[in-house]
A = this chain, B = another copy of it.
Amino acid sequence: MAQSDTVDRILDAAEELFADRGFSETSLRMITSKAKVNLAAVNYHFGSKNALIHAVFARFLTPFSATLENAFNDLEERCDGHPPTLNQTLWALTESAVRMPQRNENGISIFMRLLGLAYTQSQGHLRKFLEQEYSQPFSRFMRLLKEATPQLSAVDRYWRIQFMLGATAFTMSSSDALRDILQNKLGVETTVQEIAARLVPFLAAGMQAQDTVLMPSLSEAPVA
């Protein structure tokens, strides 16, 4: 077995278990027994549980951020001069995610769920790791969003980006939806591609909604 497929077995098992149950709720003993590997192997190969979490993310994110850079390059070149539209930007991101080579048929949904958890579970170390390692493609995406929605105020744009992230990460990370996808419970169509095809128009419409209005009746209501 050459120099150790132990590492990959651990990463595979960890990825799946983390996506299923979250980080704190997944113990090293679960991971190593699912991976059919000795408990000490994790600390030997990765150093710590936190470092294992980082490795799980890096294995997907590093090639993904390269793919994404290329997609953005292509897009900006095609547009030569004027900034890409919101739809173009969102599609560039979506296609990059969807077309990534995957280890198995559920690769994306698992990873989307992990990304959602990363944002949601307040694991400080993970946050820090992701910000350090992948700030570049993230900032670039933000810049494209900004140029594609010049009509929005900075505050509006900030919150609407939060909403987009939320709809995306949450949908992909909802264990119910994940289970539906995996088991095809919904019947008709449940590939990640098709969810994305529904999500992008939703996001674009929300992002370009008419200006924020005051709450209709709350103005004259007791605000506690």
Contacts and interface: CB of A to CB of B under 8 A. Distances in A.
Contacts of A200: 215
A173 interface: yes
B101 A224 contact: yes
A209 B202 contact: yes
Contacts of A91: 215-217
Contact of A164 (B21, B167, B213): B167
Contacts of A94: 215
A218 B101 contact: no
Contacts of A212: 197-198, 201
A116 interface: yes
Contact of A171 (B20, B166, B175): B166
A1 interface: no
Contact of A166 (B122, B168, B205, B217): B168
A213 B210 CA distance: 22
A41 interface: no
Interface in A141-173: 155-156, 158-160, 162-171, 173
Contacts of A168: 166
B188 A155 contact: yes
Contacts of A98: 215, 218
B193 A218 contact: yes
B169 A122 contact: no
9 contacts: A99-B221, A99-B222, A100-B224, A122-B175, A200-B215, A201-B213, A202-B209, A205-B206, A206-B206
Query: Which 4 A-B residue pairings sit nearest by Cβ, starting from the closest?
Result: A166-B170, A205-B209, A206-B206, A202-B206
Interface of A: 20-22, 24-25, 91, 94-95, 98-102, 116-117, 119-122, 155-156, 158-160, 162-171, 173-175, 177, 186, 188-189, 193, 195-210, 212-218, 221-224
